[in-house]
Amino acid sequence: MNIILLGPPGAGKGTQARFLVEERNMIQLSTGDMLREAKDSGTEMGKIVADVMARGDLVTDEIVIGLIREKLEGDKAGGFIFDGFPRTLAQADALGDLLKEEGETLDAVVEMQVDDTALVARITARSTCAGCGEVYNDNTKPIPADGVCTSCGEAKEFKRRADDNEDSLKQRLMEYYKKTSPLIGYYYAKGDLKSVDGLADIDVVKGAIDNALS
């Protein structure tokens, strides 16, 4: 099964993708994670995207489509979860073509609905375990006082993303509404769209996604 998790920054796409990876042996393809890796390892592409990402702008379609193309040619396990991709209509069309070339189909697009005030509160409070990627929130799920991650049991660094600040967040939201939200209509018209309330408790959202995929 191949699915897209669609929603603005902070909607909880990464958190829910991790459940699907664990329980359904799916492969999470997060273009944001791939780009951060390229940036951190200082590749040519990483250098090109660093400023764009820091500002909260979108990286070019060509770059992200190239990243996804490479992954689709590899192991397919229990299917792919596209997380943070596609973000433009051109990327959506390209994904359709790439899946076709691989003899694959897109089985569902899960839209995670959240309001903007909640997004800003979530994003400015979030941090992630550098070891396993578990997401913490200063208000609802603080970093354990002993510094040991509740998910992987390691005492690694808890990192905040460089672009999780108010300025770049505003720009990321603007990019979402201008370029990504039209995909909701695009996939609705194709008949693939399922919408869930992304503001509910994590387990409730998980249940809603399970239902949407059954």
List interacting residues with ligand AMP (CB under 6 A).
9, 31-32, 35, 52-53, 56-59, 64, 84-85, 87, 91, 163, 172
Q: Which DSSP symbol is given to 26? A: -
* Annotated catalytic residue within 18, 39, 172, 206: 172
- Closest CB to ligand AMP among 172 and 206? 172
- Closest CB to ligand AMP among 85 and 187? 85
Catalytic annotation present for 39: no
Measured from each CB, the residue nearest to ligand AMP is 32
- In whole angstroms, how close is the CB of 63 to ligand AMP at the nearest point? 8
Nearest of 5, 10, 59 to residue 165 by alpha carbon: 10
- In whole angstroms, how close is the CB of 145 to ligand AMP at the nearest point? 28
| Other C-beta atoms lying within 10 Å of the C-beta of residue 50 | 17
- Tokens read off for 67: 């990243």
- Closest CB to ligand AMP among 47 and 148? 47
Burial class (CB in 10 A: 0-12, 13-18, 19+), 166: exposed
Catalytic annotation present for 179: no
| Other C-beta atoms lying within 10 Å of the C-beta of residue 137 | 15
Catalytic annotation present for 172: yes
Contact 195, 90 (CB under 8 A): no
| Positions marked catalytic | 13, 87, 126, 161, 172
